[in-house]
A and B are shown apart, each in its own frame.
Chain A
Amino acid sequence: MAWHLECTINGSAVERDVPEDVTLLSFLRDHLGLTGTKGACLEGECGSCTVLLDDEPACSCLVLAAQVHGRRVTTVEGLAHGDRLATVQEKFVETGAAQCGYCTPGLLMAAKALLERNPDAGEQELRVALEGNICRCTGYASIVEAVQLAAREGNP
């Protein structure tokens, strides 16, 4: 059975019929072609698929597309300002926080949520905010550094 879904994705109104068992992750990637959001564990353990639902981070592999009816969804594709990278994106590149880059979209979204909520977060709060995101390449230090630098500039 299909649900009629109306929501806002990266600032644009979206209206689609979606099967009831389609996850938000699959909806974004397979239905809308927004492949920036990644799937890796597909059970809410690794955070690769993190998007913002009304500014709160959520694993899009655990959310049904039908559940975002009437809500705002922000994905990694909605971060940059035209051709200009958002500060947090810029800092990820600058510090080497992106190696293979597969965890990067999810981490960027988790970081954005934190920076919007509390730009003065200390390192411990920062680590807690990112604890649901697995990175297999970097050892995390460069990620912490990137988010701290973005916080210092006060503009996620």
Chain B
Amino acid sequence: MSRTPRIDAPPSPTPYTEHEHPVVGHSCRRLDGAEITTGAIRYGADLFPGQAELFAAVVRSDQAHARVVSIDTSAARAMDGVVGVYTHSDVGGTNRHGLIRRDHPALAEDRVRYLGDAVALVVATSERVVSQAIRAVKVEYEPLPVIGDIDAALAEGAYPLYPGGNVMGGKRIRKGDTDAALARADVVVTETFHTQTVDHAFLDLEAGVARYEPSGDPPDGGLTIQVSGQWVHEERRLIALALGVEPEHIRIIQPATGGAFGGREDISIQIYLGLAALKHPGKTVALRYDRAESMRARHKRHAIRVEYTVGAKSDGTLTAAKVTVWSDEGAYASTGLAVMRKASSHATGPYRVPNVSVDVYGVHTNNNPTGAMRGFGACQMAIACGGMIDRLAAKLGMDRLELRRKNLIRAGDDVATGQRIPVATVVECLEAAMARFRQKGEPTQPAEPHLRRGYGMSAICFGLGYGDGFPDCARARVAFGDDGKATVYTGGVDVGQGLINTMAQIAADELGLELSQVRVVSADTMLTPESGSSSATRQTYFSGNAVRMAAEEVKEQLLDVAGRHLSVHPHEIEIAEGCARVAADPDRRISLADLVAEGRRRGYSLDARTLFKPRTVCEDFDTGQSPKAFVTYLFGAHVAQVLVDIETGEVKVERHVACHDVGKAINPKAVEGQICGGVAQGIGMALMEEVVTREGRILNANFTDYILPTIHDVPKVECLILENDDPGGPFGARGIGEPPLIGAVPAVLGAIYDAIGVAPSTLPCNPERVWRMIRDAGGGI
């Protein structure tokens, strides 16, 4: 609920002070709450009824790796209702997409590289016909050797998937002298971890519509595509390049979006819809995936292998970490290069390690491309790093908490990249989480002989934004309408996390408005300025700053107008309760609608656009060092308690405490929602989720066999929010999206270790794997 601004508020709430804010910091009701709960809101597939005139569908490879010998479309073309069948030669542009390296053909040329690679596009007058017609397209393949996993890709004499071989790029960190430090260490622990391929499993399947009107540019002409992504402006660039159309000729509108988690960061159906629309001007074309196609076509979270060696003094002081990472990049690069870089910079997490050596290699296989997913490489490294701390504690006979306390960074310490962290609150997070956990006393062992209880903890950090010198910025526009209401224009997409509310609350607070006096227009390339992607936990910080700056500028104009109108200095004006008034004499006032009219008469635009672009510094090629790899860091700590059935291997998470320092919670309810949801996904990754493949074929491309956490699997997460202002964040805010998942997994794994005495190194810890771990350890735990 939004509170009435206080009458006794100071004359001007700017610049930011520690004072309580009228709108920011309150769990304001979701602006789209009624639309969501009545079913009125429109997701991609909800645009079909009444609009769709033609339906498109993709012919996909049934081979994991093959040369395309020929594509015979004649039978499909001859079918009643089929209006077009298209292959790569019908694509006008580069026919390529890919967020960082554009290496993924929209439609296969001479080769398919994973089972699910797109080969042809069929357009027909009904979904029924188009689903039959894709089966009538005959593709002749010449099978090539299939590289099914990292080991196969690295094997001696392995078939090279690319001219340069199967290892794609790499990233390293060299800090201090790791080998010498390891040789001198009192204790050394080594472990190899295997994390699994994970599917984003957002519920809202890829779906959308497109229409092309040849004459003119949007909105009347051009190519309009309505599909959920995570970065409308980048999608427009990629579609334009692939299809050979000017970007200005394309308009992307984001429908309501049912979750993303990184899974919409790569192009999905946009290019297919665009191609179909270009070929059939004046017709609205619709396309949607079912669950199997969604899982077979889309990129995934990288499965990785981590070889981790850590050295320490006998008192537990960490001295060195040597880390080698092999990540399954799948068939195409996608964002793999960036994921590798983020993995390397987070290899030692929030721990103070003077000597660090990290090598990360991307390995091409014939699995699905892998790319962005919540945690972006840092998630897998937190599993390995946290696992090493638990193992080291066991080897030293030291308390796990004490070992962490001893080695976690404090303000002014640096992380693996050498970046010094001015506000490091990971210790505070861990202490708060442990204090909450211990409120209920130390867990006791159950009476049943087949049950074991244990708890584990994690402490994590996360570099916010793209970092690493990659251009990272957000733009925003705030403008007043004649009704005295403000409109925020942001290119950022709300994928369900509540970006619209966050931006509205920031603008309302800055302008002295009620939340209901602010509208948000988002994610439309024609109407909104570019704000970068909704990913990397960056929108609250980046777009939040941009919106705040734009609102500040508009407010200055309003204060000038009001000052002249009320014949006082602008500093004596406050905006509250729908009017501008003299703070010391509130009866001298002018309504916002009148103020806007007055401003227009006086020639004020009451419209401001801003750019927020903090710089980061690319990590050095040889050493991976950078004074500012990321604009800021986020910290968190989790404590999980599990109950393990040692006869069945089943693990139940009984309690989960999650503490995160978010700088400032713009909307505490939304922050809690991100924490609880991130923990649920973390529990899924720790215990059950796994895309199972054999020779490039996904064996569980459906929700019957891809196991997701249900309401029985997730306890009520005990959320603790710390607010240590970030000096550069809007109202001190940092962000929250990814860290809750990153923190959850190692805490659950640590709890299993504590319960059964065997440290997990392979994910997920599903019943079979846990049962085997117990059996292999002798069973007599």
Contacts and interface: CB of A to CB of B under 8 A. Distances in A.
Interface in B658-698: 669-670, 672-673, 675-681
A139 B498 CA distance: 16
A127 B258 CA distance: 23
Interface in B10-62: 27, 29-30, 32-34, 36-43, 45-46, 48-50
Given A101-B496, A137-B259, A46 B703 contact: yes
B38 A36 contact: yes
Contacts of B33: 92-93, 98
A91 B670 CA distance: 15
Interface stretch (A1-9, A62-70, A77-85): A77-85
Interface stretch (B89-97, B201-209, B770-778): B201-209
B547 interface: no
Contact of B38 (A38, A43, A77, A94): A77
B256 interface: yes
B34 A85 contact: yes
Contacts of B711: 127, 130-131, 133, 135, 140, 143-144
B339 to A, nearest CB: 21
Contact of B714 (A39, A45, A139): A139
Given A39-B45, A43-B703, A139-B717, A48 B203 contact: yes
A141 interface: yes
B439 interface: no
A98 B203 contact: no
Interface of A is mostly: loop
Nearest to B47: A35
A105 B40 CA distance: 10
Given A30-B49, A33-B50, A35-B46, A85 B37 contact: yes
Contact of B669 (A40, A46, A96, A139): A96
A136 B681 contact: yes
B49 A29 contact: yes
Contacts of A93: 29-30, 33-34, 36-37
Nearest to A141: B716
Contacts of A36: 38-40
Nearest to B29: A93
A13 interface: no
Contacts of B681: 136
B37 A136 contact: no
A11 B723 CA distance: 50
Nearest to A48: B203
A103 interface: yes
Nearest to A129: B711
A98 B204 contact: no
A104 B203 contact: no
A139 B39 CA distance: 21
A76 B41 CA distance: 12
A60 interface: no
Interface in A112-138: 127, 130-131, 133-138
B710 interface: yes
A39 B205 contact: yes
A73 interface: no
A30 B46 CA distance: 9
B712 interface: yes
Contacts of A133: 711
B676 A35 contact: no
Contacts of A137: 259, 496, 673, 677
B361 interface: no
Contacts of A80: 37-38
Given A100-B203, A136-B201, A136-B681, A141 B717 contact: yes
A144 B702 contact: no
B28 to A, nearest CB: 11
A99 B673 contact: yes
The residue in B33, B34, B669, B680 that gathers the most chain A C-beta atoms within 10 A of its C-beta is B33
B291 A141 contact: no
Nearest to A106: B203
A23 interface: no
A28 to B, nearest CB: 10
Contacts of A29: 45-46, 48-49
Contact of A134 (B36, B203, B670): B203
B357 interface: no
B204 A100 contact: yes
A101 B680 contact: no
B497 interface: yes
Contact of B37 (A46, A98, A135): A98
A118 B48 CA distance: 37
A139 B683 CA distance: 10
Contacts of B39: 34-37, 75-77, 105
A93 B675 CA distance: 18
Contacts of A92: 33, 36-37
A24 interface: no
B633 interface: no
A102 B49 contact: no
A14 interface: no
Contact of A131 (B30, B38, B710): B710
Given A35-B39, A139-B676, A144 B49 contact: no
A50 interface: no
Contacts of A103: 203
Contacts of A89: 34, 37-38
Contacts of A53: none
In order of increasing CB-CB distance, the 8 nearest A-B pairs are A36-B39, A100-B496, A102-B258, A139-B676, A93-B33, A101-B36, A139-B680, A41-B703
14 contacts: A29-B48, A35-B42, A39-B45, A41-B291, A41-B704, A46-B203, A77-B38, A102-B259, A104-B37, A131-B710, A135-B680, A137-B673, A138-B676, A140-B714
Given A85-B37, A89-B34, 16 more contacts: A29-B45, A35-B39, A38-B258, A80-B38, A90-B37, A98-B30, A98-B33, A102-B203, A127-B711, A136-B677, A136-B681, A138-B673, A138-B677, A139-B675, A141-B714, A144-B716
